[in-house]
Amino acid sequence: MKKIQIKEDVIVLVDLFYEKVNQDSILSPIFNDFAKVDWESHMPTMYSFWNSILLGEASYSGRPFPKHLALPIKEKHFERRLLLFQETVDEHFEGELALEAKSRASNIA
């Protein structure tokens, strides 16, 4: 198990999480069918978002909440997203920033 320490660790976390999202029967339809996420452009934004939160890098400047308002998401979607995120962290990382990632994800949900 490794600690989240550098940008590359955050990239691994984000990639593994969204791999689960894309395979999930509850979340994949929201991201792929409804929102039609352009993953090539979305992933760097997510790397930047999580690098800013976990590593203090001031690379993200956006407002994620308004973008999500139009999505047909319910409590079950938030719960599933949080579960997958926490699973991903627990499967691959440990330490203070892993705990911080899970805490922040919970607050975001």
CA-CA-CA-CA torsion sign (22, 78, 3, 37):
positive
In order of 14, 20, 54, 55, the CA distances from 31 in angstroms are 15, 12, 24, 26
The encoded tokens of residue 59 equal: 């690379």
- The per-residue pLDDT for range 12-35, each reduced to its tens digit, is 999 999 999 999 999 999 999 988
Residue 66 has pLDDT above 60, yes or no: no
CA distance 64 to 94: 27
Strand positions, DSSP E, the chain? 2-3, 93-94
CA distance 70 to 3: 35
Q: What pLDDT does 88 receive?
A: 98
Q: What pLDDT does 65 receive?
A: 59
Say which range, 15-19, 54-58, 66-70, has the weakest mean pLDDT: 66-70
Q: 2-108, superfamily in CATH?
A: Globins (1.10.490.10)
Sequence ranges of the domains in the chain: 2-108
The SS3 of residue 71 is coil
Mean pLDDT of 50-61: 87
Determine what percent of the chain is predicted with pLDDT higher than 70.
88
